[in-house]
Structure 1
Amino acid sequence: MRVCHGIIEIAGQMGILSGEMKRRGHLAAGFNTFHSYLGYKEHLINTNGYDLRSTAPHIMNFFDVFHFHYASSLLPDYADLPVISAKGKKMFMHHWGNDVRFHEKARENNPFVYTGDSPSNEVMDTRLTKISRYVEEAIVQDYEVLPYVEPYYETVHVVPIAIDIGKFQPHYPLPDKKRPLILHAPTNPKFKGTEFIEAAIENLRNTHDFDYRRIEKMSHAQVIDLYREADLIVDQVLCGSHGLLSVESMALGKPVIAFIRPDLVARFPKDLPIINANPDDVEEKIRMVLDSPGLREKKGRLGRAYAKRVHAKEAVTDQLIRLYKS
């Protein structure tokens, strides 16, 4: 099977999935035009729009399956989609959240959500209408993203975020540590709810002894090294679902705080060990974890087992291969 991923690398997913497909004997490549300080490189062809336009005809002829990400495709204005469709080749559009998070709809079940990273409703609707004219199937990472795209596609599949679990050796919090370390790594502080998290942190300094570090503008490899030292990682408290930081933190054996919308809790696996917190109670939840060294270790071990079972690239790729072949 020859699988093309493109053209925006989100959370390392194109590279991880391409790598696992290659390990299984398939030919896979991720063509990436989005370059950031995170520095994703593995199993990617880092390119630009100009070069991609010149090679697009070859790419469309060569690959069997096209797995696009973040409402993008090979050519401007989705000019490649009717060509690929006419060739009878399989296509999927993988939406990740901010590319489709309609502003008013996001607030229907979530008074905390920040949608400033999303385009206007009109732009998102135009894009989704154009894409779904030729792409029948979409993929989303969870049920928070699902309602935004469901009206446009014939079928929407929920496939979890993938990680290379072998690169994450667990470092469980030590129950007897006197001064625990809390980490928060906001790629976008407004989206993650950093102001609420750090206000809670400052209040807790009056009653608890701990260290806090905010991590920004570092490569992915650098931040993973820092996560290993943490005793608690606070991900995001506005969106209503967890992100890659939560998954990688669980894989490292760390307790995680994030906000899971109450109406979505039942849609996640029952053993999701994330400690649920929103801006109204994040201080209370951090205090609980600081006061319970045993809880930190317990949640860390549960998180490692959960990440291995649900988010390991092997399990996620199994799902994708079934979709590619369907």
Structure 2
Amino acid sequence: MNGSIEQELIQLINNGDYESAIQLVETHDHLISSPTPGEASIMTTLLILIGETDECIKYGEFHIKNMVHVDLFYNLAYAYEISGNRILALKNYQCAKLVCMESVAREEINEKILQLRYYDVHEEELHLIKQYLAEEKLYIKEQLLNPNIDVNSSEYITIEKPDALKKMDEETKLKILYAPIEIANHMSQYLDYFRKKEYEVFGINYYPSYLGYTCDLSIDISKLNDQDRETYLLLNAIDLISDYDVFHFIFNRTLMPQSTDVIPLRKLGKRVFMHNLGSEIRIPEIARTHHKYWSYAEDYLASLNGDQILHNIKSYSTWIDNCIVNDFEMRSYVESYYKQIHMLGLPIDTEKYSYKPQVHHDPIRIVHAPTNRSVKGSAYFEKAIENLQKKYAIDYHRIEKTDHDEAMKQYGNADIVLDELIIGTYGSLTMECLAMGRCVATFINPSFQTPHNEMIPVLNVTVDTVEAQLEKLILSFDLRSELSKLGRQYVERNNTLSIIGDQLLKTYKSI
């Protein structure tokens, strides 16, 4: 049935009978509320043709969250282009290109991107840019296909880099790529920050999770067969390496499965950063030297392959000079290998995390959201809660396998949030909860000072003290209120998206 509606819409539009097409839409509610990807694409085409550009953008943005379709991305890009929003047009044309596997159509989309990106360059210079980039892509492809050979780029790139490209490298806004995985909502926030400043940025996530973090394009490559995955990643790597100036990689992964893309990136002089966040660099032998509480998570440490982790760090630091970390625990694992370590605070968009003062709840509400129960010390938190429930009315919930937005709602309704008892540093969960005015109980190792040398206003608990400290917090509404206010103030002084974004931009420009 839906297929026949789709075909009927196409026929009416091709015949220029937009009025009948609108009438057909009005008699089929699902075309508005729950269209197929093909129907959504046709709907955006119709809205553009009848001059409803704003409605096209509204409709397209609503449905693109739940579907991946070349034509829908393309139509949304075109709607942004004719409405004068060049940055969002470029984003959606890029999405269309990266999901298109048909070579002619992909090149046509690339042509649109180049025209929009270099809109202020005269025709002769644009021709040189296209020639240079085409030759550059030939080199990138050859190097990616032959990672064990030192491919001579001059055999493929035969013309000098055009002045317009040199000028963009030196004077204009850098083009920035975030890839290939979204962890702890970092990518999404950086994209928001730089787009507000009119930077051309793009985020691609090849490993989406149940947390449901948003970025520009999420493609679960594990669902592709081996041959399709290899082809898809190669085509995208060639285009992305050529398209961007700054490459912000996350969690010890890059654009290719064996990270062979680091070779052409380095040889082309791109600005490359590896952003490390946790278990991908946590070397058990070093972790055990930090404090005694790692002995309470030996099962977790035993699950980590220290030799492989160290091999990966050495391998990446051979080709990538710059590493970004968010705390001193992370720094301890990589500082002996990378040429430059950049300390960066955790970003919090305070406009999205609104402050809610503490109120009296009976029973008191306590939540804990472990991504890994062992490394978060969940058993010790829950033993303390079990004992305290014998004396006090406590509504306790463990939040697991829940998408990020829903989890945030539950944190926002809690009085106390339990983070972790083993690692000794704080992460995005703590910062998000402080921004919302929640009291956070977590273990902070005194030797791991914050990047800005200011004590974070949390209830500092250990495996040894967690029950007694939590009891104090349960009994004292004044203490909870004070920590609530101090937490929000701390975030506003140190971790707003504007503050961290400015730091990150300086980092990109520093190399």
Does the alignment pair 1:96 with 2:277? yes
Matched-pair contact (CA < 8 Å) for 1:100–1:118: no
CA drift at 1:45: 4.2
Q: Equivalent residue for 1:230?
A: 414
Which secondary structure state, in structure 2, belongs to the residue aligned with residue 165 of structure 1?
Answer: coil
Q: Equivalent residue for 1:108?
A: 289
Change (3 A) 1:118 1:246: farther
Does the alignment pair 1:33 with 2:214? no
Give the counterpart of 1:202 among 386, 392, 395: 386
Q: C-alpha distance in 2, partners of 1:172/1:180? A: 15
Does the alignment pair 1:132 with 2:317? yes
Give the counterpart of 2:352 among 167, 172, 180: 167
Matched-pair contact (CA < 8 Å) for 2:328–2:449: no
Matched-pair contact (CA < 8 Å) for 2:204–2:215: no
Q: C-alpha distance in 2, partners of 1:117/1:293? A: 41
Q: C-alpha distance in 2, partners of 1:61/1:272? A: 42
Change (3 A) 1:44 1:163: farther
Matched-pair contact (CA < 8 Å) for 2:327–2:448: no
Does the alignment pair 1:82 with 2:266? no
Give the counterpart of 2:186 among 4, 9, 13: 13
Q: C-alpha distance in 1, partners of 2:332/2:322? A: 14
Matched-pair contact (CA < 8 Å) for 1:16–1:42: no
Q: Equivalent residue for 2:176?
A: 3
Which secondary structure state, in structure 1, belongs to the residue aligned with residue 208 of structure 2?
Answer: coil
Count of aligned pairs between the two proteins: 325
Change (3 A) 1:3 1:117: farther
CA drift at 1:147: 0.8
Q: C-alpha distance in 1, partners of 2:450/2:366? A: 28
Task: Name stretches of at least 5 consecutive residues in structure 2 with no aligned partner.
Answer: 1-173, 223-228
Change (3 A) 1:101 1:253: same
Cα deviation code 1:251-277 (max 9, x no counterpart): 110111111113224766324101111
Q: Equivalent residue for 2:425?
A: 241
Q: CA RMSD in A?
A: 1.6
Give the counterpart of 2:457 among 252, 273, 282: 273
Q: Equivalent residue for 1:141?
A: 326
Give the alignment's TM-score, normalised by structure 2. Answer: 0.62
Bigger Rg, structure 1 or 2: 2
Q: C-alpha distance in 2, partners of 1:37/1:178? A: 32
Q: C-alpha distance in 1, partners of 2:474/2:453? A: 26
Higher helix share: 2
Does the alignment pair 1:67 with 2:248? yes
Cα deviation code 1:220-245 (max 9, x no counterpart): 11011111111111111111111211
Which secondary structure state, in structure 2, belongs to the residue aligned with residue 170 of structure 1?
Answer: coil
Letter in 2 for 1:203: N
Q: C-alpha distance in 1, partners of 2:236/2:451? A: 41
Q: Equivalent residue for 1:184?
A: 368
Letter in 2 for 1:279: V
Percent of aligned positions that are identical: 31
Letter in 1 for 2:251: Y
Which secondary structure state, in structure 2, belongs to the residue aligned with residue 207 of structure 1?
Answer: coil
Which secondary structure state, in structure 2, belongs to the residue aligned with residue 164 of structure 1?
Answer: coil
Task: Name stretches of at least 5 consecutive residues in structure 1 with no aligned partner.
Answer: none
Higher strand share: 1
Matched-pair contact (CA < 8 Å) for 2:366–2:394: yes
Q: C-alpha distance in 1, partners of 2:404/2:217? A: 15
Q: Equivalent residue for 1:156?
A: 341
* Greater relative contact order structure (CA < 8 Å, 6+ sep): 1
Matched-pair contact (CA < 8 Å) for 1:98–1:118: no
Change (3 A) 1:52 1:15: farther
Q: Equivalent residue for 1:122?
A: 307
- Structure 1 stretches of 4+ moved >4 Å: 265-268
Q: Equivalent residue for 1:299?
A: 483
Change (3 A) 1:85 1:283: same
Q: C-alpha distance in 2, partners of 1:194/1:22? A: 38
